[in-house]
Chains A and B, each alone.
Chain A
Amino acid sequence: MARTMFEKIWARHVVAEGPGGQTLLYIDRHLLHEGSTAAFVRLARTGRRVRRPDLCVATADHYVLTSPGAPAPDAEIRDMVQSLGDNTARQGIVYFGQGDARRGIVHVIGPEQGLTLPGMVLVCGDSHTATHGALGALAFGIGSSEVEHVLATQTLWQRKPKTMRITVDGRLGAGVSAKDVILAIIARISAAGGVGHALEYAGAVFGAMSMAERLTVCNMSIEAGARCGMVAPDETTYAYIKGRPFAPDGEAWERAVAYWKTLPSDAGAAFDREVRVDGAQLAPTVTWGTSPQDALPITGRVPDPAATADAGRRASLERALAYMGLSAGMALTDVTVDRVFIGSCTNSRLEDLRAAAAVAKGRRAVVPAWIVPGSGLVKEAAEREGLDRIFREAGFEWREAGCSMCVGMNGETARERERVASTSNRNFEGRQGKGARTHLMSPAMAAAAAVTGRLTDVRQL
């Protein structure tokens, strides 16, 4: 019978069928960050051991400061990093800590190190774990109790989700990026559209994308409500993986590729839901509200709540506009910004920085603009290409790797009512700091906002 890629990977990881239709699923790779502390504490309290420390890799990202040499703002922030170092050392888990160039955002370093491979089941106590699905892995985010469960057993109880295929055909226009594609998809299916589903992104647009672009798309699957999103592995995938530190090589490489070629969904495989989008119709996209589904082409206008019939929807639109400090009907390109953040697990890879630098080059930032690379290795590679010089000359701030202002857990937050053009993935109320206002967009669009001080159509620059 024709099977989807999701079903093939799932079936290969079934340890046991348990009570009540739940499946005990084997976990090939477990990535950890500072947020894992509570799970380690509970594990120690119950006297349980980490079953497979060799399948875990940890990195410090959320609580690390990204201004070179800055001291942690408080002891709690310092302790979050410290306790990850202590716990991983005690358990014999590979850890990329401060001073290690391999350290970076967990969803950047997994693929970068070859820790993420096609056909794997990979988990991490972070909702953006879907990112890793870009390589053809079944990757999903889990909570703290599930982290503890995986540490103790290397398995998880899961109920099989439904499947949804999102096909984007055609070709993207100039200036339209992977970020625009995923924002448009979320606007189309809604922030709840993928709840209970495993997504597969298919069609010519994803086939033509680089691995960095596919990672951007899969990263935001959770913003459409889905725990996982994946792209079938192909030559782009294999070329990306080959030679990475933890990737197979020699005879194992040949066997791996032969196996990976069996993973893509079979012709005729049935999905529970199909969505089709015409890639040629997409434009550079920005969010105006407080949910990632509140996204529109940059040529659009802020929606008018009065035009909405549903009372509940109208109330939530009004609330979003009040929080964002926007008025109905204003042109998005009339919205001025106070600061720019280019980074996060969505858009902090070398290609993202290149796209931003291409816009920044020879121009001047008129608002504070931060560049936060996704990993120490991304930072080094960018510096070898001279991207840091381009940014510095354009008045951008070149920082260390980490999550930084995507979530501000390390204290790097935007101020109350500050309006941020951001390449991150969430524009929730308070996400980038209490009262901060976030507009999501691509790296090129964020760089354009930095040099004009307003939301800008990068195609017009």
Chain B
Amino acid sequence: MEQRPDPDELLKHIQAEEPSRGKLKIFLGYAAGVGKTFAMLEAAHQRQAQGIDVVVGYVETHKRVETEALVAGLEILSRKQVEYHNVALPELDVDAVLVRRPTIVLVDEFAHTNAPGSRHPKRYMDVEEILDAGINVYTTLNIQHLESLNDVVAQVTNVIVRETIPDRVLDEASEIEVIDLPPDELMVRLKEGKVYIPEQASRAIDQFFRKGNLTALREMSLRRAAERVDDQMRSYMQTRAISGPWAAGERLLVCISPSPLAEKLIRTTRRLADELKAEWFAVYVEITSKPENDPVNRERIGRILQLAEELGAKSLTIGGSSIQEAVLEYARKNNITKVVVGKPLKPRWQELWKGSIVDQFVYASGDIDVYVISAREGASSPMLPKEWQPHSPLGRYMMALGLVFISTLLGVFIRGDLEPTNLVMLYLVSTVISAVFLGRGPSLLSAIAGVLAFDFFLVPPYLTFAVSDTQYVITFIVLFVISLVISSLTARVREQAEAALLREKQTSALYDLSRDLSSAADLQQVVNIIISQISQGFGREVAIFLPEGEQVRIFATSPNYYPDENELAVATWAYQHNQPAGRGTDTLPAAALRCQPLKTSNGIVGVLGIHSKDKNNFLTSEQRLTLAAFANQSALAIERASLAEQAQQAELLQATEKLQTALLNSISHDLRTPLVSITGALTSLDEQSDSLKEEYRKSLIVTAREEAERLNRLVGNLLSMTRIESGAIKLHLEPGDIQDVVGTALEQLGKRVANHKIHVDVPTDFPLVPMDFTLIVQVLVNVLENAIKYSPKDSLIEVAADLMDDANGAARLQIADRGVGIPSDDLARIFDKFYRVQRPESVSGTGLGLSISKGIIEIHHGQIYAHTRDGGGTIITIELPLRGKE
């Protein structure tokens, strides 16, 4: 079908070319800072140079030097000060412009919203008034302010722009000049501070000014300009009746409902219409039998229809008995070629039960194309069940009538046996059933139908509407009143039941959460439970932030989700100000994360972050309440877990301190004891030298000497222990002779072995063992000392060396005694620091010897262990590798 020049169209163009209305020139850019105002001012100067009268209506220089310089040469009209909350806000003074009547007036920021109290809510309306008065206007505009591009821009930049202008205003502009700047240069300008950014938006702006975003916006603005050129070309051809390569005349229709999808459908249809160069209509179908009474929905519908108009559609409301019938009828009448509907939201079984509009459309559409636009998931709350009336409106009324019919049938069967007053109960039943299951309307219908049927079928004379007994009139009235009352009561009950169901769902979810939390053992578990419960319950990704000083850090997140720095900033703000922040709040709404501070009576224990991948998906107010309840529980659980950890650590610290104190006390005692004898002996010898007998003197001297040696050994042990602990021991490995080691150890023990028999057995030709000789001697001294300490006088201690026959080959040295033995539980613990077998009490010594030995043997990559000897006593075994390890 060829498009002929539309007479309306022609008229419009003629009018457009008439000089009666002012011409609008828009300087279009893709972001703040590309230089639109600057270009506008330059153009103004050029005009002025040509002798044209140019004034400045409202130009925002943001104190930039270059811009101010350009403004300087032009006449500036004073601004109007609008009082708002005791603050004077400067706005464009429209009257001043009208009085002045310049040829061109410069008005910056086309999409600006005026302060409340101004003549028009939006500046573009001011401009329209000026244009109407025949004055030309130059203005500046960023591409994202266009209504039809709003959601695309939001998708690309993650920023929702609130100040928008209808597209038709752009379309009606007589000239558009695209001010373009490569994104890289813009970023440079941003860094140099040449771009004006309002402070509070700085964080969101960082996100906005990314190269990817800027490039996308730039493309949008360029494409828009190109489309316009296309349009201009087309209109040129139209007016000259040139049949051109224009698209087949498509006409689109989009069906509107109060659903939140509608806006998206509208915008998508607008874009489709643009691409197809088609007219389009936005239609709302009002079901005559069920008018939309909900004021919220009505307002929504109105808004959407207006939006459609603004975007260039013809909006209208049509009436009909069913949506698909009405739409298709209209479509056929008006040569609609394509109908746009939204993809179904409900689960499939509900559709089968209820009947889907889409299916109906498709079946009945004939040669009209049906475009099904995808709806993003999550528009409906996952926790709230939608309508639970199973029937379409017509169906319900039919069911109500059906119930009446059944009651009538029954009544007819038994009317001979019962008084009509009893038969009326049947209709009561059907009315109640209708009220409970079918809704107010159907129940009223069943009441009316019931009364009529009752009269007609069950009250003599049968099959007439006459009434033989007037008392039945009362019955009718009562029946009717009862039906009314019941139906409204049940309607209320139903609503309450729905609310209760919702509360119950919330409560049970909360119960699940607190039950799981109460069994969680530590902080990590608690956090994991919180994350999994919340992400399941809300269908979103979750992050938990815990405090670290003044800031918060990310503690745990849902799998595959990691908050970026902006989101961390949102969480930090929420923590520092103890208020929710992020998406859906008043603070930093551009972020994709909603942060809820976790509060307890002791303060803020952390921040809970909910992240939605879907930009259009906001939490309902019920969900927000539930989230707050979850947050409370979580806060308590986290606090509890943290406190438990703290308590544990405090306990540990206490235990460690106790141990340290005991240790120090023990060492102090052991160091001081020898000094007692030494000091005692020396002072005695000093003060009592005359009165002391020779043997006593000798005895004191011997005691003092032995104690001095003992003290020396203790000091040596402590030093060795310290060295081993700090890793300061350097091994000098050299081939060593086991027999030599044993002999040297015995030599060092000196008098201490005097009371025992020592038997040494090292085979001839026993190989040399790589070792640090001095250290291994020390080991042997310690082990032998231990054996001596715990063995009775004159008992035998045997030292034997042999080779182990395992793969690597190791030398084994065994020291066996016939002493008191070690309890099997303690066999490993005797090698611990400061361990002392509790029996016999007369044994002294700090208990470092074996532990030092173990340390030394381990540095040699050997082993030392003890086991009980058959027949009493202990065997301590030392193994040393024959091949020295590097």
> Does A associate with B in a complex?
no
Residues of chain B at the chain A interface (Cβ within 8 Å): none
